[in-house]
Structure 1
């Protein structure tokens, strides 16, 4: 279980870093993506975007 928590944490860090680029292509503004401010910092939890990217990756892996 610790391994999954580390993976999820790393993925959230990657999404945080790619946030501006993902917004330009439309991800990050889906209804299931959460943004909130805490202690003067903005945090971004891309739940719906993660699901969408996972489905796209699944579709590509099934085709190839």
Structure 2
């Protein structure tokens, strides 16, 4: 039997937990408003580049995937 359904269920649970943590943690962690995130406002135009936020998320996800890979 294929492992795809089990993988999809696990991915769904992880996304739900991440969403809940994002909602609750958003009050305490200013993810998206870090030093290093670029915000340009000119007239009616706003451009936002979340560089530092992207780097932090990338490092955290890389560490999680590294740890998960070690247990396989």
SS of 1:51's partner is: helix
Q: How far apart, in 1, do the equivalents of 2:46 and 2:53 lie?
A: 17
TM-score, normalised to structure 2's length? Answer: 0.51
Gaps of 5+ in 2: 1-21
In 2: Cα distance, 1:55 partner to 1:48 partner: 11
Gaps of 5+ in 1: 1-20
Tell me the TM-score normalised to structure 1 length.
Answer: 0.56
Higher relative contact order (CA 8 A, sep 6+): 1
Structure 1 stretches of at least 4 aligned residues deviating more than 6 Å after TM superposition: none
* Equivalent in the alignment of 1:41: 45
Structure showing greater radius of gyration is 2
